[in-house]
Amino acid sequence: PAVEMSPVVPLDPLSLELGYGLIPLVDKDHGAELLDRITRIRREAALDLGLVVPRIRIIDNMRLDPSEYCFKIRGVEVGRGRVKMSYYLAINPGGIKEEIPGEATRDPAFGLPAAWITEENREKAEQLGYTVVDPPSIVATHLTEIIKAHAAEILGRQEVQAILDALKIDYPAVVEEVTKTLTVGEIQKVLQGLLIEQVSIRNMVIILETLADFATVSKDLGFLIEKVRQGLGRQICLQYADEGKTLRILTLASTLEQKIIDSRSETARGFIAALEPSLQRQWITALTNSIKMVQDQGHTPIILCSEAARSLVKSSSLREIPHLVVISIPEVAAEINIETLGEIRVEE
């Protein structure tokens, strides 16, 4: 007789697996505090990133250590951590010299030095300036960072279709116009390109109107992402500007910027900068030094460059400095003030 094949079980977009010692975090009899946090985090992701995070499946996994948990996206692990129940995690945000008695570890979300402490040392740790968090908060913070870092992977075609269907009710003309020119997959790739660089997609009407304007000019993904970013310029700038709408930036020496543009090389995933190895090393060294200077002044490092260079500057620094913010001049809205903190150059 023919062997009967079992149907394919779809993998969960996002799942949290818990060692048996952590079950109380999601147990209704113990207050299930983590479940409430997860609901809040999904709501925040929708408001901040414009990303509707699908329901998160919670599974107890006997193969994990009792105190361990891990996050998976479509069955592939993207992060794990360890929690000591009934202890607190005291995280050193940087610069605290005095140690607190406890078991040394690292905070799973950001990798900062930390220690497991008991209730009796909690107040002392807070007075010293440590960030003190309880077990549900540790897992919840880690989940928030996982969603931010992997938003582009969480956004599948199905999710994009759901966004389009919801918009069609109030904005039928723009949805119809865009979907005549671009497939759901092409729209998805543009949205993923924004999310990879932490650009919120909550303003879908502007995104779709920009795509409707430019998709007839070219369907090149890189071109469309740049045009949509320019459409969202005010939103992007305000994300990083201070209360006085001042954006503090680093610029590139014109010769360096030109070299990056000239190194443009086509790959299966679009255009990237392919600098000579020695120049690449010099560029990353100069960039790292400038970033440190900006961070020491208490600012987020932001590069401002030409439209032609933006995605290439980003691709050339992605491996060493994945979270670098790179903005192009056409993205800067009229009401934004620019303050230049320095110019990055390499020796000729």
Q: Give the pLDDT confidence of 68-103 residue by residue, as tens digits.
A: 999 999 999 999 999 999 999 999 887 788 888 899
Average pLDDT on 332-345 reads: 95
Of 331, 256, 309, 241, the residue nearest 287 (C-alpha):
256
Average pLDDT on 211-236 reads: 96
Q: Are residues 19 and 61 part of one domain?
A: yes
> Looking up tokens 């023919």, which residue turns up?
2
Average pLDDT on 265-277 reads: 86
pLDDT of residue 1: 53
As given in the structure block, the two tokens for residue 230 are 């320019």
* pLDDT of residue 3 exceeding 60: no
Q: What is the CA radius of gyration of the chain?
A: 23
* pLDDT of residue 112 exceeding 70: yes
Average pLDDT on 23-35 reads: 85
47 or 287, higher pLDDT: 287
Q: Are residues 215 and 262 part of one domain?
A: no
Residues in the chain, how many? 348
The DSSP code sequence of 61-98 is -TTS-TTEEEEEETTEEEEEEE--TT-EEEE--S---S
Residue 3 lies in a domain: no
Q: Are residues 217 and 338 part of one domain?
A: no
pLDDT of residue 54: 86
Q: What is the pLDDT of residues 118-173, one digit of tens each?
A: 999 999 999 999 999 999 999 999 999 999 999 999 999 999 999 999 999 999 99
Report how far residue 269's alpha carbon sits from residue 290's, in angstroms, rounded to the nearest whole number: 29
Percentage of the chain lying above the pLDDT 90 cut:
78
7 or 208, higher pLDDT: 208
Of 175, 198, 188, 151, the residue nearest 322 (C-alpha):
198
pLDDT of residue 175: 97
- Distance set, CA 64 to CA 72, 102, 104 (Å): 13, 24, 21
| CB neighbour list of residue 181: distance below 8 Å, 6 or more residues apart | 211, 212, 215, 216, 219
Q: Are residues 188 and 285 part of one domain?
A: no
Q: Are residues 207 and 112 part of one domain?
A: no
Q: Are residues 320 and 253 part of one domain?
A: yes
> Looking up tokens 């069955």, which residue turns up?
75
Kindly report the CATH number assigned to the domain that includes residue 194. 1.10.8.540
Q: What is the pLDDT of residues 176-204, one digit of tens each?
A: 999 999 999 999 999 999 999 999 999 99
Kindly report the CATH number assigned to the domain that includes residue 73. 3.40.30.60
Residue 162 lies in a domain: yes
Cα angle at 155 between 266 and 228, to 5 degrees? 55
Whether the CB-CB separation of 267 and 318 falls below 8 Å is answered with no
As given in the structure block, the two tokens for residue 241 are 């500007």
From 152, 179, 205, the end of a domain falls on: 152
Residue 8 lies in a domain: no
* pLDDT of residue 7 exceeding 80: no
From 152, 179, 211, the end of a domain falls on: 152
Report how far residue 60's alpha carbon sits from residue 41's, in angstroms, rounded to the nearest whole number: 21
84 or 54, higher pLDDT: 84
Report how far residue 218's alpha carbon sits from residue 93's, in angstroms, rounded to the nearest whole number: 46
Q: Are residues 258 and 164 part of one domain?
A: no
Q: Are residues 23 and 88 part of one domain?
A: yes
Q: How many domains does the chain have?
A: 3
Question: If pLDDT is split at 50, 70 and 90, which confidence band does 296 have?
Answer: confident
pLDDT of residue 287: 96
Structural domain containing residue 339:
239-344
Q: Are residues 284 and 188 part of one domain?
A: no
Average pLDDT on 24-44 reads: 87
| CB neighbour list of residue 280: distance below 8 Å, 6 or more residues apart | 316
Report how far residue 250's alpha carbon sits from residue 170's, in angstroms, rounded to the nearest whole number: 41
Kindly report the CATH number assigned to the domain that includes residue 273. 3.40.50.12790
In three-state secondary structure terms, 101 is coil
- The mean predicted confidence, pLDDT, of the chain is 92
Whether the CB-CB separation of 327 and 340 falls below 8 Å is answered with no
Q: Are residues 300 and 248 part of one domain?
A: yes
Report how far residue 25's alpha carbon sits from residue 33's, in angstroms, rounded to the nearest whole number: 6
Residue 5 lies in a domain: no
Q: Are residues 34 and 141 part of one domain?
A: yes
From 231, 261, 292, the end of a domain falls on: 231
Question: If pLDDT is split at 50, 70 and 90, which confidence band does 47 have?
Answer: confident
pLDDT of residue 6: 55
pLDDT of residue 11: 79
In three-state secondary structure terms, 41 is helix
The DSSP code sequence of 104-148 is EEE-TTT--EEEEE-GGGHHHHHHHT-EEE-HHHHHHHHHHHHHH
